[in-house]
Amino acid sequence: MSDSQVIVQPSILFAEECDRGTLRQVNQDAVLHVSIALGDLMIVADGVGGENSGVVSASQMAVQLIHSYLAALPDVYPADKAIREAADHANAKITPVDKDPEVPQLRVGTTVIIAIVQQGQDDAHAWIGHIGDCRAYLVRAGRLSRLTKDHSGVQSLLDRNLIAPEEAYRHPDTPVLTRSLGVKPEVEIDIEKHSLVVGDTLLLCSDGLWSSVPEIEIERMASGPTVGVAALDLLHLALELGGHDNISIAMARLIETRDIPRKSQHSNLFAGILVLFVLAFIGLGVLTYLTFIAP
């Protein structure tokens, strides 16, 4: 390998945005990106229930509990097992908040989507787990694909071919969830592994984004020049189109970075010897001049 050869290495850039929207008085969403031993952790949580029912703490609790559980695990721990255990741990801690079933306003819960992005020498991938209707999308070569399936009443109707896809966004069962975190003693989480290649953009979001912004626009905006610009543009578009709900966005993009490696130790040693040789030759010439010529 030449000392001047450029090595192309992939790296991952991240961005997050979270806004209460134009109508809500409080922000029931929570978003997080942080590096842990297992990889880069991304979480989006969307509290469910009334604005005064404690759902803000439910989504924030979910993020905090999941993060603390995963952050304590070593890098060799299986990511899918880690996500499942973290969801169970958070569910067990949040569920007891529902102390009185006769008082509905005390009921709390949250949807959540978790991604652990891992990068090795030969590949990169994301382990994604979700409960509820927070979604994961992947943009590859400018094309948007959805990676998750909602746990909702509308999705159940779609699965049974009882409604057409174009009816889903305006269907009265759209807010109905079939699965959420912190409502029942046990919760099921769907987990999948997705490979990532250079140029890919991974998007996690709450329904405040996808219910307001058409997927064709998500595709266009998510392909923005930088991941930070893309996240901000998506947020602004959701607000412009109404912003009726809280909006949370977490994004990751795999890019190429170019690095010129430092010269090897052998090259440095050779250069040092060469310099010493030149200096010795010059010194010998000066000595010869002073001894035989100068007098």
State pLDDT tens for residues 1-47.
444 555 556 899 999 999 999 988 889 899 999 999 999 999 999 99
Is 72 in a helix, a strand, or coil?
Answer: coil
Q: Would you say residue 277 has pLDDT above 90?
A: no
Question: What whole-number distance in Å separates Cα of residue 94 and Cα of residue 89?
Answer: 9
DSSP code, position 224: S
Q: What is the per-residue pLDDT for 270?
A: 56
Question: What whole-number distance in Å separates Cα of residue 26 and Cα of residue 52?
Answer: 9
Cα pseudo-dihedral 242, 244, 250, 252, rounded to 10? -30
Banded model confidence at residue 98, pLDDT cuts 50, 70, 90: very low
Could you tell me which residues are beta bridge partners of residue 255? Answer: 11
Mean pLDDT of 182-198: 95
Three-state SS for 167-211 is: HHHHCCCCCCECCCECCCCCCCCEEEEEEECCCCEEEEECHHHHC
Mean pLDDT of 229-233: 97
Q: What is the per-residue pLDDT for 264?
A: 45
Q: Would you say residue 106 has pLDDT above 50?
A: no
Q: In what order do the strands lie in the sheet with 109-119?
A: 29-36, 39-48, 109-119, 124-131, 190-196
In CATH terms, the fold of domain 7-259 is Phosphatase 2c; domain 1 (3.60.40)
